[in-house]
Structure 1
Amino acid sequence: MINIQNEKKYELIVPQLLENAYRTAPNREVIYDGERRLTYHDLMEESTSIAYSLQQMGVKKGDRIAVCLPNSHEFIVLLFAISKIGAILIPFNTRYRIDEIEYILRNSGAKIAFFTKEFENIHHFDQFVEINKKLSSLERLVTVRFQEEICDSYDQLLKQGKNRQPSIPPIDPKEDVFAILYTSGTTGKPKGVMLTHQNVLYTGTVAKEKMQCTEDDVFLIPVPVFHIFGIVFIMHTVCSQARMVLMEKFSAHDALTLIQNEKVTVHAGVPSMFILELNHPSFYSFDLSSLRTGEMAAAPCPVEIVRKIKVDMGCNVLVAYGLTETSANLTITDFTDDDNLKSETVGKAIEGTELKIVDKNRKEVSRGEVGELACRSLGLMKSYYNMPEQTKEVVDEAGWFYTGDLATMDEEGYIRIVGRTKEMIIRGGYNIYPREIEDVFYEHPSVLDIAVVGLPDTVLGEIVCAAIRLKQGEEFDEIELKEFAKQKLADYKVPDKIILTDDFPMTASGKILKTSLQKRLKQDLQAELR
């Protein structure tokens, strides 16, 4: 059961974490992002300046602020500035294309948007300016690390707010929303997950304690800060009054270099990141002796990789499981768990979380039986933004959230994830929903029918495979089809493989049997899969 007495320790609000660290160790470094090093004093001063300027721009408590930035000190400053005045952070995946951005801006009613000029060949400035012409709700555009006459700039806001104090509204950690993170639904339309201050501080605090983090730790954050994994690692750092090293873009060589040079002690990551590091040709030339632990999540990890992380990297990594809707962590392994437990399970429920496995009627099943994993947690979202019916579908009247993941629970409480009731694909830690990709391809004039499934991959966990049936008389051109998808989808959603097929396995009612299709494709493409 949830220990109500322990709720007290999670009743801070996000800006109070920074205030506590600032008072304790103002001159301690908190951020290195490859461009700048900031102390807690710098972070406090700059976030306060931005908060003041936002209020001068008319931002009030509850207003939504869009932030489309890679891992950078500006993102962290904005996170604390926005939360300080009770506004709501809307983090954007930097790979989103114009249609995806417009939908979220329109749905959230975001008042102001911060963005870079371009990132990884995606021209954010052009996209936001184009969208701004259509949306009256989007009142101001703010550039970051570049200047444009038609926009405000981050640097201007810093100068305008320097040495000024914003007015601080009362914030209820249990009720007031800290951020809305958009996660794609099986319908293809993203849902806005409303996370309160208590939600993110709860998971940030519990997992930090599980990893035994202190002010002496240095956190490597190669996972995106616009994702719940990255956001919770920010909370781990500031809650520990420690230091974070941000990677704008992951590469194994850069990660290993940063671990060595910055004396990283705690390594966040998805399994593919650790695999790429271990397989780097110069791996054994790096000094990784500072590494102590880390958190690995988002995909299964083979036991030999868990063992190599511990032996070859000296990192007693913990394996975790969670969702955006649960503010990340629902479960985590322990330092004393052996390599097989870390590979085969995702650990036990974290403190303050209840778990159960249920059948299709939502009745609890016996230990060891497969069913859907359900939870009650202090990290559970408030709801989906403006989607009461979709919220009711996954959260019952007793507060149980149904994850859509198939799992077992053993006698000791260890959770094994055995599959997904939903068709979600997890590619390199990114959640991908086939329906969204299928809808894009149905717009192509040559495509008659399509089914998208995930296929196993030893590095990324899964890759995206699209099986396509063309209209009569049309010719198959895989490169052209991928280019078509790239115009409408974030790059990680573009299928890795596009296969031409003449028929699909079908149900009696005329639906494509994706499990049968996936099995067939695994066999047909066995020689090509890693």
Structure 2
Amino acid sequence: MTIEFTRWPQDRAQAYRDLGYWLDRPLTRILEERCQAQPDAPAIICGERSFTYTELDRLSSNLASRLAACGLGRGDAALVQLPNIAEFYIVLFALFKAGIVPLNALFSHRKLELGAYVKQLSPQLLIASREHEVFRDDSYESLFEQATAQPRVALFLGDSRNQHSLAQWLETPATEQVAYAPTAADEVALFQLSGGSTGTPKLIPRTHNDYHYNARACAEVCALTTQTRFLCALPAAHNFLLSSPGALGVFYAGGCVIMADNPEPAACFALIQRHTVNTVALVPSAVALWLQAAPQHRPQLQSLRYLQVGGAVFADSLARQVPTVLGCQLQQVFGMAEGLINYTRLDDSDEQVFTTQGRPVSLGDEIRIVDEQGAEVPTGETGMLATRGPYTFCGYYNSPEQNAQAFDEQGYYYSGDLVQRLPSGDLRVVGRIKDQVNRGGEKIASEEIENLIVLHPDVTHAGLVAMPDQALGEKSCAFVVTRDPTLKAPALRRHLLALGIAEYKLPDRIRMIPSMPLTAVGKIDKKRLRQLLAVEDNRSWLQTRLLQLIEDGEALDPQENLIFYGLDSLQVMRLAAELKERGVAVSFEELATEPTLANWWALVESRQKAA
């Protein structure tokens, strides 16, 4: 039995084999080859524990045999939710060996997301942690109400009962000899999760052939070796941390993965020093924290050589600080769980590294950058990214409607990214088409949160938009229309948490508005909401800036002439220039004609509407 998925057209599949991209080897070969070449080399360091490649092989084989003895194997699916811990990789290889297809949920996902995955897959196996709130007791079984059946096997970290103890299943093989084998190389090896722009993330089937090539090509571009010491500080289940090049790339090269709970600088710096870490992958928001903390901890960072940054657009102002502040080489990454991965190269110029997101890892990657009519745009101009290739999938799992929207007749996948292709061949990411918030690398689907907000009995409409944030790149702002004028933001956040969403999806800002702006066809006018957000931010900025200029701690009367607060013409000129830098086109004369805060707020709003 196999899992159905959208396969590559036969002619392209054969071409990928002929060109050596696809080797028709299961992902288990990565571990097999390392056990032959360097059996006693460290593969994983997790806290005070260290696992050699031989131990990783033994423990994963134990679990594979136990699962096979329970009748689980090829074509079965597993829901896995583990924190950043060595068992994540041991379980992963065990499932590869047994032919069981895992979906690795993020540890931040809660009942809402997990229930949606169960509904889509009806997994026969569950592996999770008792530390997670959903699995602290056996009430988790309600997750499977919409599945065909409860999982045949449920294993947990932190469970002492023999039938449910993951630790015991890892240490003890099946009592009888039982056969097990990976799925075929051109079949599904695992599911990845999409960033999601319309709701709960869609499932991305990745085969052994394409995912092995993905990890292999990334490892080669990043020059990973047996000396690589890679810090896994972001969620291990993320595609970025798993195969781009991630842990699978490190294992392919024979290096070692060092586990960190999270990217908090002090703890990570200590791990870097203790284990001579030389490579780390982070999202921009984490890099910003490291840059702030690094000057006081430079001796701890002496071994660090390479910093890979991806998951969101990395501001070049921060990028330029990496070599001097962190003392390592920056490598920008632009990729997606659906496939295509781009890197700046280790021998690229500083300008390429600081201002672009690099080039595809494979000569087999085909890229088109097109306008709304599907015509390719000239070099340097912005367009929609479309791609296909030897490791870019051909369709979401069991999602015909989504696939019809995401792929064209030639099999190109439209990622929703707006990019420019420079004469050098490098890509520069300039934005997104899809209705999505990229909060420090975590993708939040606006539609999902909007649909959950309006489940509140006092809410009639909700619209979620992104707002710029210096630390995270973007945060979320929810505009809400309510029947109850006393409804406050904390009540709405409690409502969302009660529905079981991950905490990072909670709106960072909630604003009540009297009515929801709509487009001509009756949809929420997100452009107008962004204008309202910009107006609000500029109103707040103006008030704060004025208090700075007049050096007066008292509150400002919006109707009072600002001259009486001590504001002079030079300061008004400065404000006009600063507003233009913020994208609000007002002149000195307009500000000076009626210098009241209320009038300036009105000017800002009128300019935002016209923008």
Answering whether residue 85 of structure 2 is matched by residue 72 of structure 1, we say yes
Asked whether the 8 Å contact 1:34–1:246 carries over to 2, the reply is: yes
Q: Distance in 1 between matches of 2:95 and 2:69?
A: 13
Aligned to 1:137, what secondary structure does the other structure show? coil
1:111 to 124, 128, 152: 124
Question: Which residue in the other structure is 1:242 paired with?
Answer: 255
2:217 to 179, 203, 206: 206
One-letter amino acid of the counterpart of residue 248, structure 1: D
Q: Is 234-243 or 140-149 further displaced after alignment?
A: 140-149
Question: Which residue in the other structure is 1:360 paired with?
Answer: 372
Q: Distance in 2 between matches of 1:172 and 1:260?
A: 41
2:97 to 69, 84, 99: 84
Answering whether residue 341 of structure 2 is matched by residue 330 of structure 1, we say yes
Runs of 5+ consecutive residues of structure 1 not aligned to the other structure:
none
Question: Which residue in the other structure is 1:350 paired with?
Answer: 361
Asked whether the 8 Å contact 1:269–1:296 carries over to 2, the reply is: yes
Aligned to 1:426, what secondary structure does the other structure show? strand
Q: Distance in 1 between matches of 2:289 and 2:176?
A: 46
1:216 to 227, 238, 242: 227
Deviation (angstroms), 1:212:
0.9
Answering whether residue 505 of structure 2 is matched by residue 493 of structure 1, we say yes
Q: Distance in 1 between matches of 2:439 and 2:177?
A: 44
The 5 Å alignment of 1:37-436 reads 37-119=50-132, 123=135, 125-126=137-138, 128-132=140-144, 135-147=147-159, 149=161, 152-161=164-173, 167-169=179-181, 171-173=183-185, 175-183=186-194, 185-232=196-243, 233-280=246-293, 283-326=296-339, 329-351=340-362, 352-436=364-448
Asked whether the 8 Å contact 1:118–1:125 carries over to 2, the reply is: no
Q: Which has the higher helix share?
A: 2
Asked whether the 8 Å contact 1:113–1:138 carries over to 2, the reply is: no
Instruction: Flag the structure with more relative contact order, 1 or 2, with Cα contacts below 8 A and sequence separation at least 6.
Output: 1
Q: Distance in 2 between matches of 1:469 and 1:47?
A: 52
One-letter amino acid of the counterpart of residue 67, structure 1: V
TM-score (norm 2): 0.81
Give the structure with higher Rg (CA).
2
Asked whether the 8 Å contact 1:140–1:151 carries over to 2, the reply is: no
Deviation (angstroms), 1:163:
8.8
Q: Distance in 2 between matches of 1:48 and 1:149?
A: 21
Runs of 5+ consecutive residues of structure 2 not aligned to the other structure:
1-11, 545-611
The count of residues paired between Structure 1 and Structure 2 equals 524
Q: Distance in 2 between matches of 1:240 and 1:127?
A: 42
Aligned to 1:158, what secondary structure does the other structure show? helix
> In the TM superposition, what whole-angstrom CA distance separates every residue of 1:170-220 from its partner, at most 9, and x where no partner exists?
6432x2111112336433143111011122222211121111110001001
Change (3 A) 1:226 1:21: same
One-letter amino acid of the counterpart of residue 125, structure 2: I
Change (3 A) 1:157 1:170: closer
One-letter amino acid of the counterpart of residue 336, structure 2: L
Q: Which has the higher strand share?
A: 1
Asked whether the 8 Å contact 1:28–1:40 carries over to 2, the reply is: yes
Deviation (angstroms), 1:397:
3.6
Q: Distance in 2 between matches of 1:364 and 1:113?
A: 46
Q: Is 340-349 or 143-152 further displaced after alignment?
A: 143-152
> In the TM superposition, what whole-angstrom CA distance separates every residue of 1:209-258 from its partner, at most 9, and x where no partner exists?
11111000100111112221122111111111110011223312111111
TM-score (norm 1): 0.93
Change (3 A) 1:144 1:123: closer
Asked whether the 8 Å contact 1:211–1:294 carries over to 2, the reply is: no
Q: Is 376-385 or 389-398 further displaced after alignment?
A: 389-398
One-letter amino acid of the counterpart of residue 515, structure 1: K
Change (3 A) 1:502 1:339: farther
1:20 to 11, 33, 45: 33
Q: Distance in 1 between matches of 2:448 and 2:100?
A: 30
The RMSD of aligned alpha carbons is 2.4
Question: Which residue in the other structure is 2:537 paired with?
Answer: 525
Deviation (angstroms), 1:517:
1.4
Asked whether the 8 Å contact 1:345–1:415 carries over to 2, the reply is: yes
